[in-house]
Structures are given as C-alpha cells and as structure tokens.
C-alpha cells in the first residue's frame, strides 16, 4: 500500500521541465520530483536546526572541560582504575 498523494500545481523553469520530460519516463516523473523535493526539504530542515541550535553549548556550563576534553577523559579513566584496584 503506497502513501496517500495529493495533486499540486507548480511552475517550473522551462529548461528543468524539458530535462525532466527528456530523461524521466512519464510514469516516473512525479516520483522523481517528490524525491528531489524530499531531499531539498531535508537539507533545509537540517540548516534550520543547525542555525537555531548554534551557541547552545556554553563553556561556562562545563567548567570541567576548561583544560580540554583529553584531560577530562584522562581524569575519568584514572578515577575508574582506582575504583577497580580497591
């Protein structure tokens, strides 16, 4: 069972429509346009998410990482080893 579909009318540049008709069989044209539109919408959503989440990380919220992630992980590993030795 396929997805529900609705008809939509779009204006396309003439060269794009000509290429679509030349390279894509008539019964597959809607599928190709839908896939291209999905891909572009996914890209736009990603960029919107990226732009709205930019700056969510604040160094002041993570003082334990001031000396760098390597130092933080090393410290965690040392405390973990000490617990196992006991």
Backbone φ, ψ for residue 34 (5° rounding):
-65, -45
Distance CA 39, CA 49 (A): 15
Confidence of residue 21 (pLDDT cuts 50, 70, 90): very high
- In the structure, what pLDDT confidence band is assigned to residue 44 with cuts at 50, 70 and 90? very high
pLDDT score of 46 more than 80: yes
Give the pLDDT score at 74: 87
Does pLDDT of 7 surpass 60?
yes
pTM of model > 0.75: no
End-to-end, the C-alpha distance of the chain in Å comes to 61
């Amino acid at each position: 069972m396929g997805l529900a579909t609705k008809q939509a009318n779009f204006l396309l540049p003439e060269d794009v429509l000509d290429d679509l008709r030349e390279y894509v069989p008539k019964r597959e044209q809607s599928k190709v346009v839908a896939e291209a539109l999905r891909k572009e919408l996914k890209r736009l959503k990603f960029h919107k998410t990226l732009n709205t989440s930019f700056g969510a990380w604040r160094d002041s919220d993570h003082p334990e990482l001031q000396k760098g992630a390597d130092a933080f992980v090393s410290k965690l590993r040392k405390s973990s080893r000490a617990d196992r030795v006991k």
